[in-house]
């Protein structure tokens, strides 16, 4: 079985969609030489008309993509660091997202915003380490955070084929994953998956934290039966899948590498408790409120949710009821 890295799965998804549909093209900073190592080989294969280096003009090229989409193309923008999304939030949220409704359905804006290396890359400090997916979920822009190699491929393909704007957050903590994959298929947007069945507590884990949740579940296997649910898409959230899992276990812990206040973990808990009577209060393991990642590695790690916190949260939740 061929072994594929998460990063190469993204490359393959881009290549497959560029091949399948002439309307797809890539733009971004330093993508012709693949500075992020995601667009490697694509310039040679598809040429400079399909793989376009942009000047450092994030706001303009993000709206340029909106215009190209209005004219019938399907742009994919690669952002080199997640913090750039703060710079182009206006262009995505105020224009790309709003145009279909504001025009009364006259147009579609099928742009994919790909953010490889979202979250902490150790040592990249405050302005390069955010993981701002909750912002887009709040606005209602389709937001996906693939956790596995197969999902990196399958969700990116679906994002490119989607007629709406989609932000794809590829967590830095997942880029170096490798997996044996035989078949790669599109993964539907808006559908979560149970990564590990369990009976006592559902751990909802976002992105690379799925792997931490699985490890903690293994560690605790002789004490607690942990189910791990990977929502994969944060907006639209797979509420039925989520509620189905928590209905079976009766307990909920969410682990999410974004800031706590108004974060996606709060939404996950809220939408579950609206529909399920839990055996114990739900818990969330997140970055602190308003966190800015400090530089020193020990400080960086201290701010991110880790396995020990998750283990403690699971154990407390079991003790509560």
Partner 1 sequence: MSADPVGLYRTVRLIRRFEERAIDLVHAGTIVGGIHPYLGQEGIAAGVCAALRADDLVTGTHRGHGHVLAKGADPARMLAELCGRSTGLNRGRGGSMHAADLGVGVLGANAIVGAGGAILTGAVWARRRRGDDVVGASFFGDGAVNEGMLLEAFNLAALWRVPVLFVCENNGYATTMPVAGAVAGTITGRAEAFGMPATVVDGQDPETVRAATAAAVARMRAGGGPELVEARTYRFDAHHTFEHVVRLDYRPPDEVAAGRARDPVEIQGARLSTADRAAVDAEVEATLAAAVEFALASPDPDPAGALDHLYASGLVARTGGG
Residue (62 or 202) nearer to partner 1, CB: 62
Binding site for partner 1 (CB under 8 A): 49, 54-55, 57, 59-73, 75, 90-91, 94-95, 99-110, 140, 142, 162-164, 190, 236
User: Coil, strand, or helix at residue 205?
Assistant: strand
| Cα→Cα distances 12→5, 20, 67, 152, 156, Å | 10, 12, 26, 10, 10
Minimal distance in Å, beta carbon 243 to partner 1?
13
Minimal distance in Å, beta carbon 90 to partner 1?
7
Residue (53 or 219) nearer to partner 1, CB: 53
Residue (110 or 192) nearer to partner 1, CB: 110
Residue (41 or 72) nearer to partner 1, CB: 72
Longest Cα–Cα distance of the chain, Å, equals 60
Residue (164 or 200) nearer to partner 1, CB: 164
DSSP 45-74: HH-TTTEEE--S-HHHHHHHHHHHHHTT-E
Minimal distance in Å, beta carbon 45 to partner 1?
18
Q: Can you say whether the dihedral through the CA atoms of 177, 243, 235, 302 is positive or negative?
A: negative
Minimal distance in Å, beta carbon 110 to partner 1?
7
Minimal distance in Å, beta carbon 108 to partner 1?
3
Q: Under a CB-based contact definition with an 8 Å cutoff, are residues 283 and 254 in contact? A: yes
How many residues comprise the chain? 321
User: Coil, strand, or helix at residue 1?
Assistant: coil
CA dist., res. 158 & res. 42, Å (int): 19
Closest CA to 187 of 215, 229, 145: 145
Query: Is 128 among the residues known to form the active site?
Result: yes
Closest CA to 251 of 229, 220, 234, 230: 229
Candidates 97, 128, 208, 211; catalytic one: 128
Pairing, β 226-230 against β 283-287: unpaired
Residues assigned a catalytic role? 128
């Amino acid at each position: 079985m061929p072994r594929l890295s998460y990063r190469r799965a993204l490359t393959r998804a881009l290549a497959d969609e560029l091949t399948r549909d002439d309307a797809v093209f890539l733009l971004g900073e330093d993508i012709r030489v693949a500075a992020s190592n995601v667009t490697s080989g694509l310039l040679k294969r598809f040429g400079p008309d399909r793989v376009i280096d942009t000047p450092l003009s994030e706001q303009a090229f993000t709206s340029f993509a909106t215009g190209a989409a209005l004219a019938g193309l399907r742009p994919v923008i690669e952002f080199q660091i997640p913090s750039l999304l703060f710079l182009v939030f206006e262009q995505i949220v105020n224009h790309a997202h709003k145009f279909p409704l504001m025009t009364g359905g006259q147009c579609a804006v099928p742009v994919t915003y790909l953010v490889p290396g979202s979250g902490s890359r150790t040592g990249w400090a405050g302005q390069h380490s955010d993981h701002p997916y909750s912002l887009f979920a709040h606005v209602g822009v389709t937001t996906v955070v693939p956790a596995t190699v197969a999902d990196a491929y399958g969700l990116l393909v679906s994002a490119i084929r989607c007629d709406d704007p989609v932000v794809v957050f590829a967590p830095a903590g997942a880029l170096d994953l490798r997996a044996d994959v035989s078949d790669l298929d599109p993964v539907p947007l808006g559908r979560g998956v149970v990564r590990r069945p369990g009976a006592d507590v559902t751990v909802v884990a976002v992105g690379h934290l799925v792997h931490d949740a699985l490890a903690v579940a293994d560690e605790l296997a002789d004490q607690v039966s942990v189910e791990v649910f990977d929502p994969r898409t944060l907006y639209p959230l797979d509420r039925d899948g989520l509620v189905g899992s928590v209905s079976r276990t009766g307990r909920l812990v969410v682990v999410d590498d974004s800031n706590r206040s108004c974060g996606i973990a709060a939404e996950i808990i809220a939408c579950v408790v609206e529909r399920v009577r839990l055996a114990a209060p739900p818990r969330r393991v997140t970055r602190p409120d308003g966190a800015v990642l400090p530089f020193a590695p020990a400080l960086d790690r201290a701010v991110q949710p880790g396995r020990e916190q998750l283990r403690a949260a699971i154990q407390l939740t079991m003790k509560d009821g």
